[in-house]
Amino acid sequence: MTWDITPYRSVGSLQLGRHRNEIRRQLGADFTSFTKDIGESEADAYDHLGIHLYYDDDDRLEMVELFQPASPTLKDVSLLGRDYEQVANALAEHGYKAKPTDVGYSYEDAGVALTLNGSEIEGVAVFRKGYYAD
C-alpha cells in the first residue's frame, strides 16, 4: 500500500493528531498493542500494513513508523527498500536537508526520519512538529 507523506500533517489518510479510537475505527481491529519504551503510551502495530502507530499521553497520533510491505512516498519519491544515496539526491532536489542520526538520517524540514540497514532504507518514521524536541 502506498502511503503519501504530507510533512507534519499526514501519512496517507492517517492525520497526525487524530485520536487513537478514530484511527482504530478507520484501520480495523487487526492490530496488536505494545510498549516500546517504559513509561510511554502503548503503540498499535498493524504489521500486515507495515505500520506502527505511536500516540501521546492524550491518545493523539504523534508518529508513524513504516516498513515493508508499506510503500511510503514523499513528493513522489519512494523511500523504502532503496539505496539511501538515490533517495537523498531526490529529496535534496526538493530542498530537503539531511541530518545524520545514530541509525540513519533525519529530515526535520519534512518531519521524516530514515533508518538504514547498510546503505538500504529499512524504516521510515513520520512525526509531528516538535516530536524530537520534547
Check residue 40 and give its pLDDT. 79
Q: What is the pLDDT of residues 20-30, one digit of tens each?
A: 999 999 999 99
Sign for the CA dihedral angle at 93, 114, 63, 66 comes to positive
Residue ranges in the chain modelled with pLDDT below 50: none
Please list the residues that pair with 85 across neighbouring strands: none
* Domain assignments of the chain as residue spans, ordered by start: 2-64, 71-129
Check residue 41 and give its pLDDT. 86
Check residue 134 and give its pLDDT. 55
Check residue 50 and give its pLDDT. 97
Check residue 133 and give its pLDDT. 64
